[in-house]
């Protein structure tokens, strides 16, 4: 056989058999790296795509440390930066705000104003009175109505906090800050920024069903489950690029007393757990806004959520009311895929 012919046969074999195998090899060079750790009192699932295992492991360790620091810094009652801010507010003096807390105060003021006070991180005393500042609320009677009325009369409001650069003073000594409604979202935003600094552009950080996803998973979108309040999966939504999905629900943290369930999302107008909604999902770019909006729109409920969504600049909303009816923006309806048979659906008009 002449040399030229052997060469041709070899080239043919190379392109037919070896080249595809080598290309496949390139694609699986960096398989998805998945890990989980505890943060903000919940399990965080982290998936990283497109970098080697060592880099992904190092990034995961860095994020775990970030979250541990944030949890300590933003805990409303434990000793720490936010705990100190709350003690100083109660004293009525001027003081300088620790840098770890300042951005949360600014964002908290913005969300409170946009939501007309339905999102109100200044109601820390009320949250504390209900016992929802702990991770595991116990079986107990709800607080006495008299105590709730007294706290409502003091009308704690984010506008009571006067910021002058980094100096803060409160005109209302009853203000106590609780960032439980958007701290996790803001923390996820910081963690995503950290991942990007480390050269990671395809990842998902999922903290107990609340998440932000960047990039994609090998060219395919991330598939996200939206939980049914009674358990199981209600719907699937695909996300890619840079999107956050946050849900507030009555099942997340609650206690039962004499057959009645009391959950942790408090309507600042009544001082009692917000009525009318079972769960509310928001899809938005940044996680802090998605988190705050899910809580705010949950409080607004089936009759008023559209007004608050418009004020907060939210386009994608899914609300399940207490009769099981789903209320959605048309933009959200175009993206969700229900698992079982389609539920009763109401689409909002202006959004």
Binding site for ligand AMP (CB under 6 A): 119-121, 127, 132, 178, 180-181, 248, 252-253, 264-266, 268, 291, 294-295, 299
- What phi and psi, each to the nearest 5 degrees, are found at residue 11? -60, -40
Give me the least distance between CB of 185 and ligand AMP, in Å please: 8
d(Cα 99, Cα 166) in Å, to the nearest integer?
8
From the list Mg ion, ligand AMP, none, pick the one residue 114 interacts with, judged by a Cβ distance below 5 to 8 Å according to partner type.
none
d(Cα 110, Cα 104) in Å, to the nearest integer?
10
From the list ligand AMP, Mg ion, none, pick the one residue 268 interacts with, judged by a Cβ distance below 5 to 8 Å according to partner type.
ligand AMP
Give me the least distance between CB of 179 and ligand AMP, in Å please: 8
Give me the least distance between CB of 217 and Mg ion, in Å please: 26
From the list Mg ion, ligand AMP, none, pick the one residue 301 interacts with, judged by a Cβ distance below 5 to 8 Å according to partner type.
none
Query: Which whole-number Å values give the CA distances from 170 to 125, 173, 346, in the listed order?
Result: 15, 6, 42
Q: Which residue is nearest to Mg ion (CB)?
A: 295
| Binding status of residue 295 toward Mg ion by CB under 5 A | yes
- What phi and psi, each to the nearest 5 degrees, are found at residue 13? -60, -40
Q: Which residue is nearest to ligand AMP (CB)?
A: 180
**Which residues ranging from 164 to 223 are in contact with Mg ion (CB under 5 A)?**
181
Residue 92 CB partners (closer than 8 Å, separation 6+): 169, 170, 173
From the list ligand AMP, Mg ion, none, pick the one residue 105 interacts with, judged by a Cβ distance below 5 to 8 Å according to partner type.
none
Give me the least distance between CB of 180 and Mg ion, in Å please: 8
By C-beta, is 72 or 240 nearer to ligand AMP? 72
By C-beta, is 33 or 179 nearer to ligand AMP? 179
d(Cα 74, Cα 40) in Å, to the nearest integer?
10
d(Cα 136, Cα 126) in Å, to the nearest integer?
17
By C-beta, is 65 or 303 nearer to ligand AMP? 303
Give me the least distance between CB of 169 and ligand AMP, in Å please: 22
CA angle, 180 as apex, 189 and 325 as ends, to 5°?
90
By C-beta, is 294 or 318 nearer to Mg ion? 294
Largest CA distance in the chain: 101
- Which one, of 327, 310, 307, lies nearest residue 319 by Cα? 327
From the list ligand AMP, Mg ion, none, pick the one residue 132 interacts with, judged by a Cβ distance below 5 to 8 Å according to partner type.
ligand AMP
CB 302 within 8 A of CB 281: no
Give contact residues for Mg ion (rule: CB under 5 A). Answer: 181, 291, 294-295
């Amino acid at each position: 056989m002449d040399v030229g012919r052997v060469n041709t046969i070899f080239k043919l074999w190379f392109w037919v058999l070896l080249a595809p195998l080598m290309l496949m090899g390139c694609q699986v060079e960096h398989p998805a790296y998945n890990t989980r750790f505890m943060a903000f009192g919940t399990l965080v699932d982290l998936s990283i795509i497109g970098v080697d295992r060592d880099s992904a492991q190092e990034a995961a360790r860095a994020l775990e440390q970030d979250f541990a620091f944030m949890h300590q810094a933003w805990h409303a009652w434990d000793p720490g930066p936010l705990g100190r801010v709350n003690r100083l507010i109660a004293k009525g003096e001027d003081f300088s705000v620790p840098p770890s807390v300042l951005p949360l105060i600014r964002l908290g003021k913005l969300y409170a104003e946009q939501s007309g006070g339905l999102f109100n991180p200044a109601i820390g005393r009320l949250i504390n009175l209900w016992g929802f500042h702990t991770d595991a609320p116990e079986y107990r009677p709800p607080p006495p109505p008299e105590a709730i009325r007294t706290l409502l009369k003091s009308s704690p409001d984010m506008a009571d906090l006067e910021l002058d650069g980094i100096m803060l003073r409160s005109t209302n000594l009853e203000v106590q800050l609780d960032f439980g409604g958007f701290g996790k979202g803001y923390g996820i935003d910081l963690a995503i920024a950290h991942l990007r600094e480390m050269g990671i552009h395809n990842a998902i950080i999922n903290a107990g069903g609340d998440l932000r996803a960047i990039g994609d998973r090998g060219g395919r979108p991330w598939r996200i489950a939206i939980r049914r309040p009674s358990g199981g999966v209600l719907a699937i939504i695909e996300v890619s690029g840079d999107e956050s999905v946050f849900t507030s629900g009555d099942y997340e943290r609650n206690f039962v007393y004499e057959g009645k369930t009391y959950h942790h999302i408090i309507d600042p107008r009544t001082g009692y757990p917000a009525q009318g909604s079972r769960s509310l999902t928001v899809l938005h770019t940044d996680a802090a806004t998605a988190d705050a909006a899910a809580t705010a729109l949950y409080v607004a409920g089936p009759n008023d959520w559209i007004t608050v969504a418009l004020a907060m600049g939210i386009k994608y909303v899914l609300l399940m009311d207490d009769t099981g009816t789903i209320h959605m923006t048309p933009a959200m309806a175009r993206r969700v895929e229900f698992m079982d048979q389609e539920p009763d659906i109401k689409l909002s008009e202006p959004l």
